[in-house]
Structure 1
Amino acid sequence: MVPVWDRFVRVFHWGLVTLIAVCWLTADEIKSVHEAAGYLVAGLIAARLVWGLIGPRHARFADFVRSPRAVLDYLALLRVGREPRYLGHNPAGGAMIVALIATVAGTALTGWLQTTDMFWGSEMLEEVHELLATLILCLAGIHIAGVVFESLRHRENLVTAMIDGRKRASERPHN
């Protein structure tokens, strides 16, 4: 077993999961908790953006953000069962991280904007906020399905890896 996910990435991941659940559960009931959790989400996203530039190898965006062509090539190999195993995120996983971070950031931004004088009471902005929040759930569902699929496909528990930070070393992981 080799270390892959550093403590910050793991705390960020599970903290974000927890805070998004809190936001969903308090959206229409406990506005003060919803807003506080939203600000914490925004803080986590900002910290992750910095960590994606200065963190260790597998935390850096340069390690897992790939071109659309690379993502499509990986998905084509996946479809025929010939995709390589990655020690860090595979190209599809990297694309999901980018989509989730962008969607979560957009949700936090539209939530905060609704507290400003300019957008207070804006129904249009509220609808965008709710649409983005729903998109988070859709993306999270796809992310979970991908984690389960990859865990089964490569015979490794990716959930455990995101808890303890370690993955099985292999003879020749792709990265």
Structure 2
Amino acid sequence: MSRDLVGPPPALWDPVVRVSHWVIAGAVAANALFTKGGGALHVWLGWIGMAFLAIRLVWGLVGPWEARFAAFPPRPIDALSHLNRLARRRRREFRSHNPAGAMMIYALWLSLGIVIATGIVMTKGATPWDVARQQEAVAAGDWSALVDDSADSTGSAGAEAEGGHWVQDLHEIGANLLLVLAVLHLGGVLAESLVLRRNIVRPMLFGTRR
């Protein structure tokens, strides 16, 4: 492991990291708990999550050092070594995300990317406004809104059918995997906080820049 990665962690993550983290977490939680699949709000939250994921990925190239991909490379061996140290309650701090946290972040991003990509396929790229207009038309009794008569037409139900069951299955698998990873992430944060005797959530919320 490079010594450049070891050192005091950020006392406060930069605004882009913090905002993207909590917006994506909120969008995923809201879609899992409160919205109906294929509905306008569900699509809206998906697009919001996609936008902030894109922002965070760009920030991983141009942001401050601790936010860049080079600061938390995906290294499974280092992640296992870090978990072993945690199990033995041996403290070691990192200037960015720890190796296990880094692996979790990339797994979360990959799962979220799968959910977003399959969602776009299922709706044939329909925007939230398209989905809302379609649902309003159907609610008003215009069922022709569900019929895809041209290449430019969009519709949640019709697009899902054309996308095939495998796309829907992959979407659901990705969404469920995302939730499992989120729970594991929370458990890891709790364990790390207990071992380090430091609230590692605080820098993602508020704090003071060193």
TM-score interval, smaller chain: 0.7 to 0.9
The letter for the 2-side match of 1:27 is: K
- Structure 2 residue runs of 5 or longer lacking an equivalent are 1-8, 125-150, 152-157
> Is 2:142 aligned against 1:133?
no
Q: Percent identity?
A: 36
TM-score of the superposition, structure 1-length normalised? 0.86
1:142 corresponding residue in structure 2: 184
RMSD: 2.2
Q: Which one of 105, 111, 117 corresponds to residue 97 of structure 1?
A: 105
Q: Deviations over 1:95-119 (max 9, x none)?
A: 1000001101110111011112796
Q: 1:2 to 1:72 in 2, by over 3 A?
A: closer
**SS of the residue aligned with 1:78?**
helix
Matched pairs, number: 167
The letter for the 1-side match of 2:177 is: L
- Taking the TM superposition and a 5 Å limit, the aligned residue runs for 1:56-67 are 56-67=64-75
Q: Which one of 117, 120, 130 corresponds to residue 160 of structure 2?
A: 120
Shift of 1:2: 5.7
Q: Which one of 83, 87, 91 corresponds to residue 79 of structure 1?
A: 87
Distance 2:42 2:74 in 1: 34
- Taking the TM superposition and a 5 Å limit, the aligned residue runs for 1:1-175 are 3-24=11-32, 25-28=34-37, 31-116=39-124, 120-121=160-161, 122-166=164-208
1:172 corresponding residue in structure 2: none
The letter for the 2-side match of 1:50 is: V
Distance 1:21 1:2 in 2: 26
More moved, 86-95 vs 129-138 = 86-95
TM-score of the superposition, structure 2-length normalised? 0.73
- Structure 1 residue runs of 5 or longer lacking an equivalent are 170-175
More moved, 82-91 vs 6-15 = 82-91
**Aligned partners of 1:119 and 1:125 also within 8 Å:** no
**Aligned partners of 2:12 and 2:206 also within 8 Å:** no
**SS of the residue aligned with 2:93?**
coil
Distance 1:166 1:137 in 2: 31
Shift of 1:82: 2.4
Shift of 1:83: 4.5
Q: 1:31 to 1:145 in 2, by over 3 A?
A: same
Larger Rg: 2
Structure 1 segments (4+ residues) deviating >4 Å: none
Q: Deviations over 1:112-169 (max 9, x none)?
A: 11112796312111111011101111000000001111111111112222101558x8
Distance 1:166 1:20 in 2: 28
Distance 1:109 1:80 in 2: 40
